[in-house]
Structures are given as C-alpha cells and as structure tokens.
Amino acid sequence: MDKSFKNVIIKDNFYQSSSFFPMPLTLIGTLDEKGEKTSFGAYSLIFPYYIAGKDCYAMILECRNTSNTAKGLLRHGKCTINFLPFSKKNFKQHVDLGFPGDTPEEKMKSFMFETIDGLSQEETTEPCPKIIKEALQVFECTWVKDLDGAQNDIVQDEYFPPFHNFNGITSKYGAHFILKIDHILIKDKYYKSIINGATRSNYCPLPTNWGYRDSKYFWCSGFKRPTPIGIPNRAIDLTSLHYAAKRLNTDVTFTDDALKTLVKVPRPFLKLVLQGCVNWADENGVKVIAEKEMKIISDKRAKEKGKIK
C-alpha cells in the first residue's frame, strides 16, 4: 500500500469517528405521543433508498430507537424531512435539537423556526407533522412498516433480540425506517431550477454536515456555488441503435429518424428508453415509431415532469 495512506481502526459511528463522510443536515418532524404537536430532531443519517423501479420512492433514516423521532414514527408512521439554508445560527439550532434525552416539550422551548401545515395535511383530516416555513425543501414521508416484518414494533424503554435486518428496530440501540416519499415540497426559485434547468446561481444552497468529532464539536460547512462539468458527448451509432431496437420483444419498429433522436442516451439506459417508447406505442395502437411519434413521447415526458409539485 502507498505510504501516503494510513490504516484507520474502524470504530462505532465510523462515518465520523474513523472517516470524513459528507452528509445532509436536516430537521425531522414527528408527532408527539398524543398526535397533537410536532417536535423536531436533527439528523444527517438520512439517504435515498428506493430511487427507481419500485412502486414508490423512499428514503432511509438511521437513528436511536429510543429517540423522540423513532417513537413518533413507531406510533404515528409520519414525518417531515426539512432542509434549511446554512447559517451559524441555524446550525446551532440543529445542534441543540440533536442533543439526546430531551423530551419533545424541552426541545421545542427554544425552537426558532415557524411551523406550518404541509400538503399532506390538506389531503386528510388525520393530524400530520408540520413542516418548517424557512426550509428550502421538505420531504413529507410515511413509514413503510410492513417491510422486514416491522409492523408490530412498538415504543419500549429498551429492546432485545431478535432484531430486524433493515427496517424498524434493528439493534439494541438502533432503528432504521424506510420512508415512502409522499411529497417533495420546494421553494419556488429552486423548483424553477429543477424544471427549467439548474445554473450556478439558482442551485439550492444546502449545507454539508460532517458530524461530531473529538468529543468537542459538531462540524458543518456552508454552501458554495457548485462547479458544473458537461456530460461527455458519446453518441451511439445508428447501427447499435437498430440492434438494440430489434432485440426488444415487440413488433413495433423504429424509423432511422426516430432512432437518431436517441443517439445521446447513455447505453445503460437505452433499453429502458426504447421499451418506454414501445409501451407508448402499444397504448396508442402505433406499429411504426417515426420522428413525429418520438416528439409526442418527448412532449409527454416533459409535461409529466412539469407536474412535479
């Protein structure tokens, strides 16, 4: 091994005790025991889980199984994941809300943000956790409790084996929650960035958290404008496109002009894109897909993308 590297002992909480790992900085809102008020806890171990090919999109949260957030999810199954802009004042609020052992009432005594109803609350008469008005984006989520047989997990003072593998109570002190994303709410400026295209000036300015170190400090870095690099121009030749189209299990065919519109599709996604075109053709009674049909399909996808709220 190159002597510029050192082998670090891997310890508990290795992401901050044995390495440097960039993470999001979030405040997660859950309902209290009575299901009446929302309290917030600070979390960074929250990551995308189901990103495609499933019947839902989901995040995964890792947390202490006796935390207020874990209790709120076990009792009510709902949460909001709030992403706020960086400032030293905001970061201090995250640190205060991340301190273990405080009750929901104690945590919220010095809460400095404004809470409001989210979209989920407009869709039901049942109480839902609030969202933070100052947040730049919010994920409203529902715990998928039936995965890994976690539907019978309840709030307890302590937990004993057997534990689940990836959802619910997963260890003596830990829990994982697979959270179906019900809505992604985002402030108008950054919504336009998603719909119309991101630039350095309209990129959502979210901070990066680095965790707790040396038994002294929590570390976080503010946002700097990101640097874009263009996607490599690796066009697929027409012969390869014909070959891929002919391998599909269908009697739908593509004209050369139709296939030429796909030359910049990355090869790993080509079959998926072609199959999507075939599915549209089957639904609309089309046997030959020409350039005109490809434009219709493209417009349909653009319209669906524009419906993101």
List the CATH number of the domain containing 268.
1.10.8
If asked whether residues 197 and 251 sit together in one domain, one would say no
Q: Say if CB 183 and CB 118 are below 8 A apart.
A: yes
If asked whether residues 244 and 155 sit together in one domain, one would say no
Given 186, 221, 256, which residue is the final one in a domain? Answer: 221
What amino acid occupies position 118? G
If asked whether residues 245 and 178 sit together in one domain, one would say no
Please choose, from the candidates 142, 123, 132, 225, the residue with its C-alpha nearest in 3D space to the C-alpha of residue 187.
132
pLDDT band at 309 (very low <50, low <70, confident <90, very high): very low
Q: Tell whether 25 is covered by a domain.
A: yes
Q: Which pair of tokens denotes residue 224? A: 């700097």
Q: What one-character DSSP code corresponds to residue 199? A: -
Query: Residue 33 half-sphere exposure, CB side, CA atoms within 13 Å?
Result: 7
Q: Tell whether 271 is covered by a domain.
A: yes
Q: Tell whether 228 is covered by a domain.
A: no
Q: Say if CB 202 and CB 189 are below 8 A apart.
A: yes
Instruction: Give how many domains the chain has, as a whole number.
Output: 2
Instruction: Find the domain containing 209 and state its range.
Output: 14-221
Q: Tell whether 160 is covered by a domain.
A: yes
If asked whether residues 94 and 172 sit together in one domain, one would say yes
* Structure confidence by residue, pLDDT tens digits, 65-95: 999 999 999 999 999 999 999 999 999 999 9
Q: Tell whether 134 is covered by a domain.
A: yes
Q: Tell whether 8 is covered by a domain.
A: no
If asked whether residues 204 and 270 sit together in one domain, one would say no
Q: What is the pTM of this model?
A: 0.82
If asked whether residues 176 and 285 sit together in one domain, one would say no
If asked whether residues 39 and 142 sit together in one domain, one would say yes
Is the predicted pLDDT of residue 1 greater than 50, yes or no? yes
Q: What is the dihedral of CA 67, 217, 109, 159, to 10 degrees?
A: 10
pLDDT band at 308 (very low <50, low <70, confident <90, very high): very low
pLDDT band at 103 (very low <50, low <70, confident <90, very high): confident
Residue 22: cis peptide before it, omega within 30 degrees of 0: no
Q: Across all residues in the chain, what is the average pLDDT? A: 93
Q: What is the pLDDT of residue 305?
A: 64
Is the predicted pLDDT of residue 306 greater than 70, yes or no? no
Given 221, 249, 269, which residue is the final one in a domain? Answer: 221
Given 221, 253, 278, which residue is the final one in a domain? Answer: 221
Q: Say if CB 217 and CB 251 are below 8 A apart.
A: no
* Structure confidence by residue, pLDDT tens digits, 41-57: 999 999 999 998 899 99
Q: If residue 239 lies in a helix (H) or strand (E), which one and from where to where?
A: helix 238-246
Q: Tell whether 268 is covered by a domain.
A: yes
CB atoms within 10 A of CB 74: 21
13 φψ region: left (φ > 0), alpha (ψ -120 to 50), beta (else)? left
If asked whether residues 247 and 187 sit together in one domain, one would say no
Q: Say if CB 81 and CB 23 are below 8 A apart.
A: no
CB atoms within 10 A of CB 269: 11
Q: Which pair of tokens denotes residue 217? A: 């400090």
Mean pLDDT of 242-259: 93
Q: Are strands 137-143 and 174-186 parallel, antiparallel or unpaired?
A: antiparallel
Q: Tell whether 2 is covered by a domain.
A: no
If asked whether residues 138 and 205 sit together in one domain, one would say yes
CB atoms within 10 A of CB 271: 14
